[in-house]
Structure 1
Amino acid sequence: MSLTLEVARVAAATNVLLLLVLVGIWGRNYATIRSKHTLGSALFALFLLAENALALFYYLDPPSMSGPAVRAMMYLQVLEFAGIALLVYVTVD
């Protein structure tokens, strides 16, 4: 289970970093454009950032959780990483 927890930690930490990039870009774009879509994107990224920061907090000092629960959360963090990485790719490109 330690490898599973480590993968979840790395995915959550990477998600936090990528979301900080997105919040910065979309926040700057909103300041320039004043579009509701840009504001919505920035707020969405902020909510995801809060979720990933909380998950990372729990992964760094994990409560006793069953193996299947940790594995399920790891899968979700990795899938979320793929989605966020795609958003960063299309935003920066």
Structure 2
Amino acid sequence: MLITDKNATETGMARLILIICAIGAVALLLRRVLTDKARSVKRDEQPAFAATARCTRCGAYVDRRLMRPDGDGFCCQEHDTDRS
């Protein structure tokens, strides 16, 4: 019959659990740091879309920077008759 030291077995299991918890904590911290860096990079980028407005004459949605005010709304370049 094999005689084992119960105290040594419990100490070994406690160390194993502690090591697993430490590895998990490090993994969570790394994940948080990496996602925060990715978010800060996304904040620095330009938005994925531009503000658009609907042409009052044809109804097309066009980038607002390319339109001019026309009465109650905006007019696209195709219908901009006041251009010189």
| TM-score after normalising by structure 2 | 0.36
| TM-score after normalising by structure 1 | 0.33
Larger radius of gyration: 2
Q: Which has the higher contact order (CA 8 A, sep 6+)?
A: 1
Q: Which has the higher strand share?
A: 2
Q: Which has the higher helix share?
A: 1
